[in-house]
Structure 1
Amino acid sequence: MLRRSGTGFRLSAYLFLALAPLLWAGNFVFGRVLVEALPPFGLNLLRWVLACAILAPLALRWEGGIPVPPRRLWPALLGMAVSGVLLFNSLVYLALTETTSINASLINGATPILTIMLAALIGLDRLNGLRVFGAALSLFGVAWIVSRGSPEALLGLTFNRGDVIMLAAALMWAGYTVLARQVMGTLSPLAATTITSLLGLPMLLAVGGYELATQPVGEMTPVVILGLLYVAGGASVAAFLAWNTGIERVGAARGAVFLNLVPVFTAILAVPVLGESLAVAQVAGGLLVICGVTVAATLGRPGSHTKPPRRAR
């Protein structure tokens, strides 16, 4: 077994943190089809119903059942269920119906900075100059990608209700990431993901079920069904397990900068799948994102990722 301070242990954590954005990038590709057929909370409901159908058997097989967490972890687990399962993707889907992709991508790119600030605010991590610089560099790379290298596009941004909803979604994921760091000290990533999914499902059933019952639903074509299977198995189960594993090993503030890989991977996938062209500005922005991730992940305060989370007494 690798020691927590070993280079191989950290490298595997970074691979997990890169895998999650890759899987979430696929969610954006399929999401273009899914949001035309299903309302946002209804789509998220179907996603997590399928995900729970996958997670529960996995927990039975590898955990010997769904573990009962200590009482001190229930507030964090409930917070993860609300922020990560109920709200985050539902708000993303809702925001994209009222704002532009440029605005949404820029606001989502603020998530690592929000995570760093939130983790420092509640005393779970410390701000570090290189970490903040890496997050800011990655955010600038995201801005350069979505604006296609046009300063005029950035200066001309306006904010509407969809932008506010997207900012709320980014804050929800920052909260999920910080809470996950506390839970991962006791529960395995599989156990934590399964428990939070099951906790969030009844809440999502109330909201998403109402949407599906009262709003029109498009044709369930083979592409829509395939997309649902992907967002459940890949973008929910596999991505959340990879993300929680990485956060367990390196911490919330350092791991959060990997979220800025999502638009990079989305651009890479969109070329062959959606037939979109890859512009020079997107390549340059992608390099900035990767540089920012590298700075924040490898040049931060030594030993910060090995410090165990504070536990309630």
Structure 2
Amino acid sequence: MNATTTRGALLAALACVLVGGSFTANSVLGDYPYAGGQFLRYALACLLLVPVAGKGAVGRLRALTSRQWARLALLAAVGMVGFNLAVIAAERTAEPAVPGVFVGCAPVAVAVLVPLLDGRRPQRVVLYGSLLVAVGAFTVQGWGRTDGTGIAFSVCALAGEVGFAVLAVPVLRPLGPRLLSATVCAVAALESAAAGLLVDGAGWLRRPDTVETAALLWQAVVVTVVGFVCWYVGMQRIGAERATLFSGLIPVAAACTAPLVGTGSYGPAQAAGSALVGLGVALGSGALRRAERKRAPRGRAFRGNGRRESRGVRVPETPE
């Protein structure tokens, strides 16, 4: 694994760990208006991202086509506002593990959809790795009580997680990670405000208390600004299929941080699931194959055409 792919993998992993750890912040925002909280989160994140969006940001935005703007609006609606709303709605009639299990299947869906949309076949090693990640995520979280409504909203959450990766692929190159993050945050803030006015009316936004303010700041600064940029930089370097493998770290990070605030425990099932996620990531990213090549004997290597090499020095063939 070269320096570029290693850095991309580490950034994608960091982004997913931050998202997993943010579940603690979500737990203290249960009484705050959903749309208002999303508006504050994404508006603040946009303001922080604009100064680091890079030179020529306005020109790059003007160069976008109407189709690309529509994709950005859909990315914000499905992968950000819609995803968070689906998770909250699912948890009203289902235990948190249920939407978590569905979201854990996102690597499988992305491993199939991204190459098909690009006109190529899915890579077997990535698909096998994503299946291991999905099984590991299920093992970490288990299965909880639910009903038909909870399952339906959990499927919507899965669609949102998949959309967050798939919809970003065509606009990542022209905008870059930082400008893309700033733009979708601005769009998501506008969409949240519109949804809040339609659903909650005048009560869609209120002044948060001290605990809610801290949670919103964590989500805006750490999870959104740092997490989004790391995620899209990682996706840019290793591709959407391999980057989404690291989403299996979301339930692992949530399980590791839950005991710190007394909302869960970390036991043998969580440890086994974490190991499966790690194995799936290593397999799908190609790290296992590269490790095997490094462990291969360097003294002599044989090629299929009969030539023999010794420590990089080619040895002439014996005449037949």
Please give the TM-score of this superposition, normalised by the length of structure 2: 0.81
The answer to whether the 8 A contact 1:116-1:127 is kept is yes
Q: 1:293 to 1:110 in 2, by over 3 A?
A: same
Give the aligned residue type for 2:272: A
Give the aligned residue type for 2:84: N
Greater CA radius of gyration, 1 or 2? 2
Give the aligned residue type for 1:13: G
Counterpart residue number, 2:295: none
Cα distance between partner residues in 1 of 2:36 and 2:232:
25
Counterpart residue number, 2:213: 225
2:188 to 176, 188, 200: 200
Bigger mean CA deviation after superposition, 37-46 or 276-285: 37-46
Counterpart residue number, 1:48: 42
Q: Does residue 263 in structure 1 map to residue 251 in structure 2?
A: yes
The 3-state SS of whatever aligns with 1:278 is coil
Cα distance between partner residues in 1 of 2:112 and 2:35:
28
Q: 1:39 to 1:215 in 2, by over 3 A?
A: same
Cα distance between partner residues in 1 of 2:55 and 2:184:
15
Q: Percent identity?
A: 28
Q: Deviations over 1:89-134 (max 9, x none)?
A: 2222222222111211111111111212221332265312221111
2:97 to 90, 93, 102: 102
Bigger mean CA deviation after superposition, 108-117 or 207-216: 207-216
Give the aligned residue type for 1:86: V
1:127 to 122, 130, 142: 122
Q: After the TM superposition, which residues 75-90 of structure 1 pair with which residues of structure 2 at under 5 Å, given as runs?
A: 75-90=70-85
- Whose relative contact order is higher, 1 or 2, with alpha carbons under 8 Å and at least 6 apart? 1
The answer to whether the 8 A contact 2:39-2:190 is kept is no
Q: 1:222 to 1:157 in 2, by over 3 A?
A: closer
How far the C-alpha of 1:191 sits from its partner, in A, is: 0.7
The answer to whether the 8 A contact 2:136-2:277 is kept is yes
Please give the TM-score of this superposition, normalised by the length of structure 1: 0.83
Counterpart residue number, 1:33: 28
Q: Does residue 63 in structure 1 map to residue 58 in structure 2?
A: no
Q: Does residue 238 in structure 1 map to residue 226 in structure 2?
A: yes
How far the C-alpha of 1:23 sits from its partner, in A, is: 1.1
The 3-state SS of whatever aligns with 1:96 is helix
Counterpart residue number, 1:180: 168
The 3-state SS of whatever aligns with 1:166 is helix
2:19 to 8, 19, 24: 24
Counterpart residue number, 2:157: 169
Counterpart residue number, 1:11: 6
The answer to whether the 8 A contact 1:95-1:163 is kept is yes
Give the aligned residue type for 1:116: A
Q: 1:159 to 1:117 in 2, by over 3 A?
A: farther
Q: 1:157 to 1:34 in 2, by over 3 A?
A: closer
Q: 1:25 to 1:158 in 2, by over 3 A?
A: closer
Bigger mean CA deviation after superposition, 214-223 or 10-19: 214-223
The answer to whether the 8 A contact 1:51-1:233 is kept is yes
The answer to whether the 8 A contact 1:45-1:209 is kept is no
Mind listing any 5+ residue stretches in structure 2 that lack a counterpart? 291-320
Q: Does residue 189 in structure 1 map to residue 177 in structure 2?
A: yes
Q: 1:158 to 1:81 in 2, by over 3 A?
A: closer
How far the C-alpha of 1:12 sits from its partner, in A, is: 0.3
Aligned residues: 287
How far the C-alpha of 1:256 sits from its partner, in A, is: 0.9
Q: 1:159 to 1:133 in 2, by over 3 A?
A: farther
Cα distance between partner residues in 1 of 2:189 and 2:206:
23
How far the C-alpha of 1:254 sits from its partner, in A, is: 1.5
Q: Deviations over 1:233-272 (max 9, x none)?
A: 1111111111111111111112111111001111111222
The answer to whether the 8 A contact 2:37-2:205 is kept is no
The 3-state SS of whatever aligns with 2:212 is helix
Q: Deviations over 1:186-213 (max 9, x none)?
A: 2210111111222232222110244454
Bigger mean CA deviation after superposition, 234-243 or 173-182: 173-182
Q: Deviations over 1:26-77 (max 9, x none)?
A: 2211101112x22333322222122222222333xx4355442432633432
Q: 1:190 to 1:128 in 2, by over 3 A?
A: same
